[in-house]
Amino acid sequence: MGVVTERGAIAIGASHLSLKQLDSKLLTEGLQVISCDYYRSKLAQKKRICSIRVSPVCASNTVTYPNSCVYCFANIALNHTLKVQYHGICQKPIS
């Protein structure tokens, strides 16, 4: 897909995208994928620190995670059983 540059941007072909731009590109192309590769690293597992940035993710367990970092740590804890339903707050089913 691309290569992460030293400034934290993603190089795709000749263009460089910031992580925010990449998130936007994935959403506009209808892709509901969050890569949790970074969060599997020993350093990330040891620190378990997420930003306070709010960008809600609705997962297959109908839980809204405040951002992709929190989603990834939950997904790792649940043995990678979660899938992203959509980006946004989960809607409660009408009963």
Same domain for 55 and 83? yes
Q: What is the mean pLDDT of each run of 10 residues along the chain (95 residues)?
A: 39 47 49 81 88 94 96 94 95 79
What pLDDT, on the 0 to 100 scale, is given for residue 2?
Answer: 39
58: DSSP letter: E
How would you class 8 by CB atoms within 10 Å of its CB: exposed for 0-12, middle for 13-18, buried for 19 or more? exposed
How far apart are the C-alpha atoms of 26 and 68, rounded to whole Å? 13
* 44 and 6 in a common domain: no
CATH number of the domain that residue 94 is part of: 3.30.60.30
Kindly state whether residues 21 and 41 are assigned to the same domain. no
Please report, to the nearest 10 degrees, the dihedral formed by the alpha carbons of residues 15, 16, 20, 21 taken in order: -10
Angle made by CA atoms 31, 37, 43, in degrees to the nearest 5: 145
The whole-number pLDDT of residue 20 equals: 52
Regarding whether 81 and 43 lie in a shared domain, the answer is yes
- Domain with 19, as residue range(s), is 1-31
Residues 56 and 14 in one domain: no
- Say whether both 86 and 49 belong to one domain: yes
- 76 and 52 belong to one structural domain: yes
Query: What is the value of pTM for the model shown?
Result: 0.62
